[in-house]
Each structure stands twice: as C-alpha cells, then as structure tokens.
C-alpha cells in the first residue's frame, strides 16, 4: 500500500509522525463535518471521483459553518454591509424555535446525487431486519458514535441508501448538538436534511406533536463515547444513558436498536501515555470543551487524496448500519426509576442480540463481544 505496503484486514496503519499531530489538532464534531484526518489508504481504493466529491461535500458543510461565523461579525463592524449581518441575526432570533419544532426538511436536498458519491466512498449500507409500522413513533438508538458518525449521516440524513424505500411512510429525524442551530446558513442546511437538536424539547415535539410515522435517531453514547472509538473496538457507553428510555416511556415510542458496523474503523484515534504532559493537557481541554460546548476534542488521522499519502479523508472502509427489531414500550406519563431500569435492561439485551447476530457478516470475529460501560 504505497510506501507502507498493503494492510491486512484488521491491521492498523502506521501512525503519522509527531509533527503531523502538532500541525493538525482537530475538533471532530464541530458542525458535523470536520473530516479532518491524516492517514494511509485501505486495501479497497475508492474512485477519484468519489474522493473528490467526498471532499467537496465536507468543504461545503464546513464552509457553511465557518463563513457565517467569520463574515457576520466582520460585516457588522468593518464594512458598509452591516445590514446583511443585522438581517441574518434578526432572522436567527425570529426563527429560533423552528429547529425544535420539526425544522424545514427538503426531499430535494436529501436526494442530491452528491450523497451517493459520499455513500460509495466508504461504502455505506443500511440494512433492515424488521418493518416499522407508520402507525407508531420510534426512537432509533444508534451505536457506536465513532469520531464523526458517518453512518448516521449517510443513512438517515440523506436518501443515499434508500431509507424511504426500506421504511415507507417513516420520517427520520437525526438528533445533533444544539449549537449547530445557532449558526446562520448552516442551520438552514442541516434542517433541510431532517436534522434536529438532540434536546428533550425537540424530541418530545417530534414524538408527540407530529402525528405518527416519525423516527428520531439518536447516538446514545454521544460525544463522550467518541473517546472510546478505535479500530477493532466494540465498546459503547450505555449503562448510565437512560434518558432515551425515559423519553420512550413518556411518549409511548418504540425503541429500535441499531449498530453501525465499521464506524470505528474509518479513523484512527491517538492517545498519549498516561501521566505525560500531553495526556494531562488533552484531558483538561476535553473536559472544558465538553462542559461549555458539548464538544469532544480528540486527535485522529485518516488518509489523503492519493494512494499512500497523509491527508484529510477517512479510510474508505465499509460501514453497515443494521436496524433491529422494535421493542414495544408502554406509554407512562411519569415512569419510575424501576420501570426505566427494566426497559433499559430489555434494550441492552436486544442490542446484544442484534450485535451477535450480525457481527461475523460485517467484519468481526465470532469471539468479538460488545463491551458496554
């Protein structure tokens, strides 16, 4: 494989030099599209058109987040176009509640041909195991988070893998950080794809005020789980995460387990020796960003545009999201802790079953176990 030779299945590529990490520290969850990675390619090579369009998609989303952040204050203070900034900020405050009330989705944007190239790059696949009745509402809980959650984006925020054909009359909404909707222009873009704030207010509205046939998709482990994501690992953060179960009980929504096999394989996360100054500094930074912005800071790398190069792309390794059998949940207005614990345990059992049934089919060994912490 270029200068490094071809990698065997499951073998991690060599780590980049220390200078690379100094040059490219990354915030992987900023505006859902920080495809910052420095890496070597995988045995399967994507086409050049897939790579170019993947970069184009990533730059497009990132630009829609960074450009308003830079230009709105600049126009407001230093140019004669201050009215543009005033209008953008006025619209933001006027339209503040829209993301929490279903947003403004666009089937046209969800069906862009660009997303098919994005899908083909890895490739990404969506697997259905059971029907979802449009007479119910659902909480599709997904694991693992990965560094960027590519599988969630492609499978549920676009139609690249045919969600509407697999689950007719079901409308998916992908929950993400609420800070995303504080950024003009970017908020319009992500709302058009059916993305909503992952807040109790927003999710309850979708599950109780929009009729039936709605499915909110949440990555239960959240930003904290991203730190557990490394190639070869199947460790998820779930034991203390019970809010989604309580929400399901309060709204009577069925719980649907789902697992994205391969999500942990597309980026390599680096860690420093315990007790070193780098480890100490990284932990302080992680805690601060998590507390004040809900973001997780980690150092990772992927691949470049050409074979054997370092760059800004994830490895093109398959990601397969398997959607499991819905778990019936009764509607209880004020569920007790015991009730929440009961259905949380049932959910864990259903997730383990789903993982064990499909792990060998999608690249894991028969002995691989799902570790839940």
Residue 47 has pLDDT above 80, yes or no: no
- Whether residue 48 has pLDDT greater than 60: no
Inform me whether the pLDDT recorded for 23 exceeds 60.
no
Q: Taking 50 as the threshold, does the pLDDT of residue 4 lie above it? A: no
Q: Residue 59: is its pLDDT beyond 60?
A: no
Confidence of residue 273 (pLDDT cuts 50, 70, 90): low
Mean per-residue pLDDT, 70-87:
80
pTM exceeding 0.75: yes
Q: Tell me: pLDDT of 29 over 50.
A: no
- pLDDT of 27 reads 32
What is the pLDDT of the chain when averaged over all its residues? 82
Contact 26, 39 (CB under 8 A): no
Band (pLDDT 50/70/90 cuts) for residue 26 is very low
Helix (H, G, I), strand (E, B) or coil at 259: strand
Report in angstroms the alpha-carbon separations of 213 from 134, 167, 191. Answer: 4, 10, 19
Burial class (CB in 10 A: 0-12, 13-18, 19+), 211: exposed
Query: Which residues touch 37 (CB under 8 Å, ≥6 apart)?
Result: 26, 267, 300, 301, 302, 303, 311, 312, 313, 314
Q: What is the pLDDT of residue 19?
A: 41
- pLDDT above 80 (res 259): yes
pLDDT for 42 beyond 50: no
**Does pLDDT of 7 surpass 70?**
no
């Amino acid at each position: 494989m270029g200068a490094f030779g071809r990698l065997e299945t499951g073998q991690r590529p060599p780590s980049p030099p220390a200078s690379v990490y100094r040059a490219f520290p990354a915030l992987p969850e900023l505006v859902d599209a920080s495809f910052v990675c420095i890496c070597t390619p995988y045995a399967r090579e994507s086409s050049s058109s897939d790579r170019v369009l993947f970069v184009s998609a990533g730059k497009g989303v990132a630009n829609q987040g960074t450009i308003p952040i830079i230009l709105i204050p600049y126009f407001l203070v230093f140019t004669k176009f201050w009215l543009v900034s005033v209008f953008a900020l006025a619209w933001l405050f006027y339209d503040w509640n829209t993301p929490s009330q279903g947003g403004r989705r666009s089937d046209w944007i969800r069906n862009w041909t660009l997303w098919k190239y994005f899908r083909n790059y890895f490739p990404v696949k969506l697997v259905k195991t059971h029907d979802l009745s449009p007479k119910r509402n659902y909480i599709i809980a997904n694991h693992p988070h990965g560094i960027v959650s590519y599988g969630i984006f492609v499978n549920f925020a676009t139609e690249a893998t045919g969600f509407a054909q697999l689950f007719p009359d079901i409308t998916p909404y992908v929950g993400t950080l609420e800070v995303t909707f504080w950024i003009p222009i970017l908020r319009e873009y992500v709302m058009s794809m059916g993305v909503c704030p992952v807040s109790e207010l927003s999710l309850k509205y979708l599950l109780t005020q929009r009729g039936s046939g709605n499915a909110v998709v949440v990555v239960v482990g959240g930003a904290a789980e991203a730190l557990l994501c490394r190639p070869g690992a199947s460790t998820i953060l779930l034991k203390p995460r019970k809010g989604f179960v309580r929400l399901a009980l309060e709204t009577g929504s069925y719980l649907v387990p789902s697992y994205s096999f391969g999500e942990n394989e597309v980026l390599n996360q680096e860690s420093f020796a315990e007790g070193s100054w780098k480890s100490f500094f990284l932990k302080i930074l992680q805690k601060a960003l998590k507390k004040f912005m809900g973001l997780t800071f980690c150092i990772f790398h992927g691949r470049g545009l050409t074979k054997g190069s370092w760059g800004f792309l994830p490895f093109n390794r398959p990601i397969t999201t398997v959607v499991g059998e819905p778990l019936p949940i009764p509607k209880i207005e004020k569920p007790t802790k015991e009730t929440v614990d009961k259905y949380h345990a049932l959910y864990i059992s259903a997730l383990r079953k789903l993982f064990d049934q499909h792990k060998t089919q999608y690249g894991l060994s028969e002995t691989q176990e799902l570790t839940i912490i």
